[in-house]
Amino acid sequence: MTRKRVVITGLSALSPLGGNLDDTWRNLLAGKSGIAPVTLFDTAEFATHIAGEVKNFVPEAYDIPAKQARRMDRFVQFAVAGAKMLVEHSGYVIDADSAENTAVMLGVGLGGLKTIEDFHLRLMEAGPRKISPFMIPMLISNMAPGQVSIFTGAKGPNVVATSACASGLHAIGYAYSEILLGRATAAITGGVEATVTPMGISGFTALKALCTEDIAPEKASRPFDKHRNGFVMGEGAGLLLLESLDSARARGATVYAEIIGFGSAGDAWHMTAPEDSGDGMARAMRNAVKDAGLQADDIDHINAHGTSTQLNDLAETRAIKTVFGKRAYSIPITANKSQVGHLLGAAGGIESVFSVLSLYHGVIPGTMNYETPDAECDLDYTPGALKQIQPQHVLCNSFGFGGTNACIVYKRFD
C-alpha cells in the first residue's frame, strides 16, 4: 500500500538545560551543562551527589491547577506541562473534529518512584489507613498519557511504552506506525521521566551504572571518552507532535522534519549489559534504515545513545562500525547526554527533539567532555563544539536494559 508521510509539526522540551524548548536548545548549542548538585533531596549518604534536574519547576507556571498537580507524580506533571507547550508550539487544534483522531503515546521508563517512596514511608509510620486513594493513579506509568489526554482533550489511542531507556523512542515509533496505518491523524508523543529520587539514585548506584567519581558536575558525563565511568541521572520531557502530511498541509502547519523509518530489535543476551558486539543495536539500526527505504550511505548524522558507561559506548561504537563500515569514521555523531545526563525513559524523546532541530536549523550539537580518546571508541563524536552542516538524514538511537533497542530515521523536510 502507499505509505502516508508522517511529519513533525511541533516540539517541546522540559530539561536540565531549560524549562522550555528555546532555552533548552540555546543552552545545548552553547555547550552548557544542566548537570549540577542534587537539590531534590539530601545526598549526604549517597555515593553520587549530582544529577540533571529540571530546575525551579513549578507546575502552576504551566497552567496546571495546584489541586490537580498535588494528585500527580512529578513525571506526570512534566508530561502535562510538555504537552501544553507542544500543542501551543504546533498550533494544532484538538476539537470535536480532531479529538478522536489524535493519539497520545508516551514513553516512561519507571513511573512514579517518588510517590512509591512517599507512601511507603507513610505506610510504615502511620499504617494502611493513611494511604491516599490517589496513590495508585499517581504512580502508574500510563497516567502520563492519561493525564495528557484529559488536559488536551485528545481521544485517540492512549498508550504508554515502557522499555527501559528505549521507552521514548519506542513510543515515537509506535505513534509513527499508527499514523502510517491510518489509525490516527496526529499524535502527541515522546518521553517523560522523573527518577532523581533516593530510590532511583541508590538503585542505579547499586548497579554500578552511575558516575560516582569526585569530579566537577559538568565534567561527569563524558560519552565515549576513555575515562568515562558511568552515566549521570537526568529528568524531564521531550515531546513531538506527529501529523500526517495531508493534515499538516491542510492547516498550513510549519513542518520541522519528517519521520521515514523505525526499527527495533532485541539482544536476547543479558538483563543489563548490551551484547558485546552490539549485534542487537546494529540490527535495530539496519531495520530503521531499511524501513526508511534508504541505504546506510544515506545517513549523514547519528544522535547516539551514548550513555557514558564503558559497556554501552563500546557496544554502540562497534554496532555503528558494523552497519556503516569504513564510512562510520566520517559520520558526525553527537551524544546529548554529555549535557543533560541520561533521562532514562525520556532520553529518546529529548534526543529526538534535538535530532529534529538539527535537521531544521542545519547544525549538529557537539559532544562535551570527549577529551581523552579511547582506542576502541574512535569515531567522530563531534567533540566540544557544534558543526554547521546541513544533514539530510539523522539516525537517532536508544537502547535499554533487557536488551531492547530502538532507532528512528528523521529526514530534513523538503
Burial of 245 (0-12, 13-18, 19+ CB in 10 A): middle
Contact status, residue 117 vs residue 110, Cβ threshold 8 Å: no
Q: Count the neighbouring beta carbons within 10 Å of the beta carbon of residue 30.
A: 11
- Cα–Cα distance measured from residue 82 to residue 64, given in angstroms and rounded to the nearest whole number: 11
- Cα–Cα distance measured from residue 79 to residue 230, given in angstroms and rounded to the nearest whole number: 27
Residue 407 annotated as catalytic: no
- Cα–Cα distance measured from residue 268 to residue 53, given in angstroms and rounded to the nearest whole number: 33
Residue 305 annotated as catalytic: yes
**Active-site residue among 89, 165, 211, 393?**
165
Burial of 323 (0-12, 13-18, 19+ CB in 10 A): buried
- Cα–Cα distance measured from residue 57 to residue 155, given in angstroms and rounded to the nearest whole number: 28
All three cell numbers of 405, joined, read: 533497542
**Active-site residue among 89, 170, 342, 393?**
342
Residue 377 annotated as catalytic: no
- Cα–Cα distance measured from residue 119 to residue 137, given in angstroms and rounded to the nearest whole number: 13
All three cell numbers of 161, joined, read: 511504552
**Active-site residue among 305, 377, 393, 407?**
305
Query: Which residues are tagged catalytic?
Result: 165, 305, 342
